[in-house]
Chain A
Amino acid sequence: DTGVSQDPRHKITKRGQNVTFRCDPISEHNRLYWYRQTLGQGPEFLTYFQNEAQLEKSRLLSDRFSAERPKGSFSTLEIQRTEQGDSAMYLCASSFGSGQPQHFGDGTRLSIL
């Protein structure tokens, strides 16, 4: 069990640029989740996949955000035309099936200049 891996750990970019984050879940886990965490707050749900199917998206996920999990393994989260308010920690989690505990990666911290 190598845990959930996220890359990069930290991304600094200028406003208006596009960014992409990657998440590699625990290998046998079929569910993959994305959350966003701002300072002093708990993580907020963005979206989740079961295998390659994206089953739920939060209204927090504006049309500038897109997530994929093309082969049911790793996932990418892309933010287009970044804004100041996108600065946050982006967390990925995975689980084996419904109702099972979610295991989190260390997150990608996004800083918008």
Chain B
Amino acid sequence: GDSVTQMEGPVTLSEEAFLTINCTYTATGYPSLFWYVQYPGEGLQLLLKATKADDKGSNKGFEATYRKETTSFHLEKGSVQVSDSAVYFCAITGGGNKLTFGTGTQLKVEL
């Protein structure tokens, strides 16, 4: 079945540091790829998506590129802020339309 592996947290960064959260997947066919974010006390929010190879999803300064050859969808941001502190989930949809999530990576950004 489909699976998603993402780097374990917590990841602790200073404000304005560069962020990378690694995500790799296994799936049959050509899945769509997503990053969701969960801020403290809130529900899951869609951060960005990519639906085909080499697509780049971007939102709020975050980016991720669909790399079919390495089955990866790493999340990056050039300069993080304290307000980016949250749990980030990588997810894919295979042929069945259901989302398969990674275990989540907690990001803590300090002043």
Contacts and interface: CB of A to CB of B under 8 A. Distances in A.
Interface of A: 31, 33, 35, 40-45, 48, 56, 58, 91, 93, 98-99, 101-107
A40 B99 contact: no
B46 A103 contact: yes
Interface of B: 4, 32, 34, 36, 42-46, 49, 51, 89, 91, 93, 96-104
Contact of A40 (B44, B97, B101, B103): B103
A41 B99 contact: no
Contact of A99 (B36, B51, B89, B91): B51
Closest 5 CB pairs of A and B: A42-B101, A106-B43, A104-B44, A45-B98, A101-B46
Contacts of A99: 32, 51, 93, 97
Describe B's contact surface by its main secondary structure.
Answer: strand
Contacts of A44: 101
A31 B98 CA distance: 11
B102 A42 contact: yes
A102 B97 CA distance: 10
Nearest to B100: A45
A101 B45 CA distance: 10
Contact of A107 (B43, B46, B91, B104): B43
